[in-house]
């Protein structure tokens, strides 16, 4: 194993390969809300959680000050870095699985931001907020389905 630095992060490739476990969906949801996450997965889980938080922060940018198209290049940059990290840490996964994990992390970050924004404005009893809760939970379940094979070191296969 080589001891190279990963794209501006503080963990080395050796650190990541030794404990290449992604954060759980609960850890990811906590991370995108800005909570401190002591991810049990080790360095990779912490790095993925930090990228998820960066994505959430971009999506939380005040829309009146910045158009969605203005944040897209920044999101794409973070997704590229996340995919590079995942490719290095999980070389057994096909590129399309890596992309699916990255896109799902971004969708969770955006959904969480939108859910909490709606919760503040509409309250928890509103049906739209309840629908957003179910949609965010479905995304978290999808993330779990995508990442389970990563821990088992095999490609993802859709459930029948």
Residue 81, pLDDT score:
95
For residue 110, what are the domain limits?
A: 13-151
Q: Are 47 and 16 in contact (CB under 8 A)?
A: yes
Residue 122, pLDDT score:
86
4, part of any domain: no
Q: Are 47 and 85 in contact (CB under 8 A)?
A: yes
Residue 43, pLDDT score:
81
109, part of any domain: yes
1, part of any domain: no
Residue 61, pLDDT score:
82
Work out how many domains the chain is built from and give that number.
1
Q: How many angstroms separate the CA atoms of 52 and 69, rounded?
A: 19
6, part of any domain: no
Burial of residue 138, with CB atoms counted within 10 A of its CB: 0-12 exposed, 13-18 middle, 19 or more buried: exposed
69, part of any domain: yes
pLDDT in tens, the chain (160 residues): 344 444 444 444 444 443 457 888 988 999 998 876 665 667 888 899 999 999 999 988 866 565 656 788 889 999 999 999 999 888 888 899 999 999 999 999 999 999 989 988 888 788 999 999 999 999 999 999 998 877 666 555 555 5
Q: Are 23 and 2 in contact (CB under 8 A)?
A: no
133, part of any domain: yes
8, part of any domain: no
147, part of any domain: yes
Residue 103, pLDDT score:
96
């Amino acid at each position: 194993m080589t001891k190279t630095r990963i794209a501006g992060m503080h963990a080395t490739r050796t650190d990541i390969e030794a404990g290449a476990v992604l954060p759980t969906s609960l850890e990811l949801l906590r991370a995108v809300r800005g909570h401190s996450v002591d991810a049990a997965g080790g360095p990779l889980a912490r790095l993925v959680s930090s990228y998820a938080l960066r994505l959430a922060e971009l999506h939380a940018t005040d829309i009146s000050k910045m158009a969605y198209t203005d944040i897209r290049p920044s999101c794409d940059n973070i997704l590229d870095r996340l995919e590079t990290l995942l490719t290095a840490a999980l070389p057994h996964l096909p590129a399309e699985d890596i992309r699916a994990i990255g896109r799902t992390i971004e969708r969770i970050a955006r959904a969480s931001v939108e859910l909490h924004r709606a919760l503040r404005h509409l309250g928890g009893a509103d049906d739209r907020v309840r629908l957003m809760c179910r949609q965010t939970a479905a995304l978290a379940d999808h993330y779990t389905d995508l990442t389970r094979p990563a821990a088992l070191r095999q490609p993802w296969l859709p459930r029948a």
